[in-house]
Structure 1
Amino acid sequence: MKTDDLISALAQDAPVRWRLGKAVAAAMAGGAAVAGAIFFVGIGVRPDVMQAMDTVRYLFKFVVTLTLAVTATGLILHLARPGVPLGAWRWALIAAPALLVAAVVAEMIVMPTSTWGARWIGTNARWCMSLIPLMALGPLTLLLLALRLGAPRRPGAAGAIAGLVAAGIAATFYAAHCPDDSPLFVATWYTLATGIVVLIGYFAGKRVLRW
């Protein structure tokens, strides 16, 4: 059987698609449970969470992190199925960065230049860079195991996108703890932390998802 014929047969195998989608959903739920356990046992919400919930900047962090997780999940389900076109999901992944860029521009317009540095550096950058990758390890591991039910033609890319999903889940929990709500801070340190998870996912995917 030619390679193209094999890919087409795998892409048209409905039971595999159903199993893959269900496995990814289970992996996300399990990963969220693992990340949540780490968060609530070892980290916890910020002391002023009730007051913070009245501010747009605090709630906006969850909009960004959840948008990242959702769009990356849609893309990864397509990457894991041979021969299935990525379609609009390829561009949907731009949504979270676009939201962040818009928020950063808005803040820089509204806030005095003298405050930009403090908002950018924040007070919690070190914890952000360490806790998001830590909480993402569980979701990433479970997602990679789930993706083995598929047959991604680009294992590294699939692993990297799994890293985006895992980072989105972890960052959603971390956002409830983080006292820094500035889009400048989120765009810098959350992005760098997410990049660490993506790199881990890329190299792990190349090894685990190869077929």
Structure 2
Amino acid sequence: MKTDQLIKALAADNAPRRSFLRAFVYTTASAVAFDAIIFFAAIGPRPDIAVAAETWRFLFKFVVTLSLAVPATTLAYRLTAPAMWGLGRLGILVVPLFLLLAATAFELDLVPSSLWMVRLIGSNSVNCMTLIPLLALAPLTCFLVLLRDGAPRDSGLTGAVAGLAASAIAATFYALNCFDDSPLFVITWYPLAMSIVVAAGYLGGRCFLTW
């Protein structure tokens, strides 16, 4: 067998049987759908959601969570292949943080200082710390199972970003139920709850994505 024939034979044997990108899209869509089913079946949106949807504080929660979920999910995909490592711009993840910091500063200016701690503590901190990690469990599991088919250069980082994506998806659903709309609450409790998932993703990546 000639060299070029051998190369073609090896390439044919190693050709992917399915598109990893397509599988990633399907997995992400399935994880979101599964979370939606669990949320609407077991938790549900807040009763006054129609009224809340007319306020900027309620809507801004989704600006933050979605602006984090989309780039984090995209970044998790790019980190699974060495060839796409250069496309993994971690800096884009600070955009929702800057938005949240700006909204928090605006809130501090609008609300009397006597109410700052009231808005920060809120009334749903326990639910926030519980429901976001629980809702993130399914997306994180789906991501880690699929990402094993990739070849991440940094398994811990890839797992952590997958955890960030999963927690942002979960936070988007949880925001529909949460009565605390103040940016002071969001900037405090949402990151704390999401950090649990990020840590779990890091450990999961170290355990399951190392090659």
TM-score > 0.5, shorter chain as reference: yes
Equivalent residue letter for 2:125: A
Normalising by the residue count of structure 2, what TM-score does the alignment of the two structures yield? 0.89
Structure showing greater radius of gyration is 2
Question: In the alignment, what sits opposite 2:122?
Answer: 122
Mapped to 2, the partners of 1:187 and 1:86 lie a distance apart of 30
Normalising by the residue count of structure 1, what TM-score does the alignment of the two structures yield? 0.89
Question: Residue 78 of structure 2 contacts residue 88 of structure 2 at CA under 8 Å; is this kept in 1?
Answer: no
Question: In the alignment, what sits opposite 1:161?
Answer: 161
1:99-114 maps to which residues of 2 (within 5 A)? 99-114=99-114
Instruction: Spell out, residue by residue over 1:64-116, the C-alpha distance to the aligned partner (whole angstroms, 9 max, x if none).
Output: 11111111122112211114343473211111111111111111112111110
Question: In the alignment, what sits opposite 1:24?
Answer: 24
Question: In the alignment, what sits opposite 1:80?
Answer: 80
Question: Residue 45 of structure 2 contacts residue 177 of structure 2 at CA under 8 Å; is this kept in 1?
Answer: yes
Mapped to 2, the partners of 1:20 and 1:97 lie a distance apart of 30
**Which region of structure 1 is more displaced relative to structure 2, 81-90 or 47-56?**
81-90
Mapped to 2, the partners of 1:46 and 1:86 lie a distance apart of 42
Question: Residue 27 of structure 2 contacts residue 146 of structure 2 at CA under 8 Å; is this kept in 1?
Answer: yes
Equivalent residue letter for 1:176: L
Give the paired residue count.
196
1:175: how far off? 0.3
Question: Residue 75 of structure 1 contacts residue 86 of structure 1 at CA under 8 Å; is this kept in 2?
Answer: no
Which residues of structure 1 form unaligned runs of 5+? 1-14
1:161: how far off? 0.2
Which residues of structure 2 form unaligned runs of 5+? 1-14
Question: Residue 71 of structure 1 contacts residue 89 of structure 1 at CA under 8 Å; is this kept in 2?
Answer: no
Mapped to 1, the partners of 2:167 and 2:196 lie a distance apart of 9
Question: In the alignment, what sits opposite 1:9?
Answer: none
Mapped to 1, the partners of 2:164 and 2:46 lie a distance apart of 24
Mapped to 1, the partners of 2:179 and 2:149 lie a distance apart of 39
2:89 equivalent to 1:89 = yes
Question: Residue 62 of structure 1 contacts residue 175 of structure 1 at CA under 8 Å; is this kept in 2?
Answer: yes
Equivalent residue letter for 1:206: R
When the two chains are superposed, the root-mean-square deviation of aligned CA atoms in Å is: 1.4
Question: In the alignment, what sits opposite 1:187?
Answer: 187
Mapped to 2, the partners of 1:87 and 1:101 lie a distance apart of 26
- Greater than 4 Å deviation, 4+ residue runs: none
Question: In the alignment, what sits opposite 1:51?
Answer: 51
Mapped to 2, the partners of 1:35 and 1:88 lie a distance apart of 26
1:141: how far off? 0.5
Instruction: Spell out, residue by residue over 1:140-192, the C-alpha distance to the aligned partner (whole angstroms, 9 max, x if none).
Output: 00011111121001111100000011011111100000000000101111100
Question: Residue 72 of structure 1 contacts residue 165 of structure 1 at CA under 8 Å; is this kept in 2?
Answer: yes
Identity over aligned residues, as a percent? 49
Equivalent residue letter for 2:23: A
Mapped to 1, the partners of 2:96 and 2:20 lie a distance apart of 25
